[in-house]
Structures are given as C-alpha cells and as structure tokens.
C-alpha cells in the first residue's frame, strides 16, 4: 500500500492533502429530491403563493408549483381532496401545508429515500414531524370523511382523478385514523413519523413556521445529518480491521 516505506510526516501530509480536497458541502443538506415537480437545486423564489410563502428565501418549488398546491383539483398530481364530500377549509389547510413542505423544503435530505414509481425517483421516509403539527392536523380533520387509510395508492383512477375504490365506504377520519400518529404515519406510506418532540426543539420538522423567525428546519436537518453520519462512521469503525488502522495512526491525524 501507499503507506509502506513512508514516514509519519509523509503520511500526515498525504492525509492533510486528502482532507483539503474533500468537499465541504454535506450531501444531505440544502438539497431537493429527484421528484416530479422539484427544482434541481434550491434557491430564492420571489413569489411563492400563500401557504408556501415561508420557503421563498430558499425553495425547491417554483411559483407555479406553489399556486397549484392550493387548488382543489391541482395539476400537480390530479389529486382530489374532496373524494368523500367537500373537505372543510380548516382541514384542507394542513394538506396544503403538507404539500408545500414536500414540494418546497430544502431541509428533507436526511430522509430522502429511493422510490420505485413512474413519477419520481426519490421520496421522503420517516420525517420526524413535530407533535403539535401532527396533532393539530388530526384535530382539524377528525370530522372529515375518507374511504382510505393510505392515500398514496389503491385509488380508482378511471376518470383521471382519484375516486374511492369500488366497495369502499366513506368513514369519519377519526375511525380511519384513531390517533394523530395513525394519520401522520399512514396517510402517505410512512413519509412522516409521529414524534413527541416539540416545535422549536431542533429535533423535529415543522410543517408550520413563521419565516420572520427563520426556517427552524435547517438546524433539524443538520442534527439528523450529523446523527446519520456518526452512526455510519461508528458502524464502519467497529470492524476489527479499521479498529487496528485507527489505533496505528499517530494521534495528530485523529484530531484533524
């Protein structure tokens, strides 16, 4: 190998040179997923519509996507919220906010996963949603009715928009989703994970935030990216071979 016949000083120089060319950008931070309407990379958008406006300083969505997100029958996915009668506005605003977060947020990198669907190559999985965001969503929607637990699949698309599948019944949300956790985790096939973490804790993603205070999800993404990296590094370091290699490197290298 390279280190054979090299002194400690030379090994240090090689390591220093390698660290100098390593990219400083974290691949999990400030990115857009590879999906149907997302931009390739985030940036400012002057005119994001209504509920998507909090992301205007740095967004993965375009102004057009943000206005489509607010329509009952939007061109984004031809998805109809009113499949069991008219969805009340206090409930619908959570679905609009959920769409804005999904389309616009550049802070979902730690939870981007491969997707095997025709309309997107990536999706989000197990995004830790703040307790309040999940519970308010459930509270405001519990009296609406729906015929399905998972809204990602299984609809009747014969008319070009989602209709309840044959034989399904429209039932109150509170029957289909008995607890807030059921709603947040099941409705989009585990895109979200219910947490007991609170808004402002730096440990959960907020669907709702006041942009005047800055975007709270930036620090959350940093925390989980660090957590993901350190658990991967730890897994790599527990193998006996790397353990020996780490021990054999002189201590100045370890503190670089």
Q: What is the pLDDT of residue 6?
A: 55
Residue 226 neighbours by CB under 8 Å, 6+ apart: none
The candidate with the shortest Cα–Cα distance to 116, out of 34, 200, 176, 174, is 34
Mean pLDDT of 151-163: 88
pLDDT at residue 247 tops 70? no
DSSP 74: -
pLDDT at residue 70 tops 90? no
Residue pair 79/163 in contact (Cβ under 8 Å)? The answer is no
pLDDT at residue 72 tops 80? no
pLDDT at residue 253 tops 80? no
Q: What is the pLDDT of residue 236?
A: 54
pLDDT at residue 184 tops 80? yes
Mean pLDDT of the chain: 80
Residue 67 pLDDT level (bands cut at 50, 70, 90)? confident
Q: What is the pLDDT of residue 140?
A: 95
Backbone angles phi, psi at 130, to 5 degrees: -60, 140
pLDDT per residue over 6-43, tens digit each? 565 565 565 555 544 544 577 788 888 886 767 778 78
Mean pLDDT of 47-67: 84
Output the DSSP codes for 239-254. SHHHHHHHHHS-HHHH
Mean pLDDT of 159-183: 92
pLDDT at residue 118 tops 50? yes
User: Strands 192-194 and 127-129: what pairing?
Assistant: parallel
């Amino acid at each position: 190998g390279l280190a054979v016949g090299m002194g400690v000083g030379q090994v240090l120089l090689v390591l220093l040179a390698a660290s100098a060319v390593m990219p400083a950008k974290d691949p999990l931070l400030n990115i857009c997923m590879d999906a149907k309407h997302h931009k390739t990379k985030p940036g400012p958008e002057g005119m994001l519509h209504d509920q998507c406006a909090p992301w205007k300083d740095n967004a993965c969505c375009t102004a057009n996507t943000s206005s489509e997100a607010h329509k009952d029958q939007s061109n984004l996915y031809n998805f109809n919220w009113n499949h069991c009668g008219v969805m009340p506005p206090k409930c619908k605003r959570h679905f609009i906010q959920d769409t804005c977060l999904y389309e616009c947020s550049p802070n979902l990198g730690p939870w981007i996963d491969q997707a095997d669907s025709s309309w997107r190559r990536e999706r989000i999985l197990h995004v830790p949603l703040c307790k309040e965001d999940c519970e308010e969503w459930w509270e405001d929607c519990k009296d609406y009715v729906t015929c399905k637990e998972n809204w990602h699949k299984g609809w009747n698309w014969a008319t070009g928009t989602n209709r309840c599948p044959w034989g399904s019944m429209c039932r109150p949300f509170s029957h289909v989703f008995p607890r807030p956790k059921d709603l947040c985790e099941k409705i989009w096939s585990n895109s979200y994970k219910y947490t007991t973490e609170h808004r402002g804790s730096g440990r959960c993603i907020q669907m709702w935030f006041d942009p005047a205070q800055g975007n709270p999800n930036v620090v959350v993404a940093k925390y989980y990216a660090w957590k993901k990296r350190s658990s991967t590094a730890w897994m790599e370091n527990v193998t006996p071979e790397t353990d020996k290699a780490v021990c054999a490197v002189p201590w100045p290298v370890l503190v670089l």
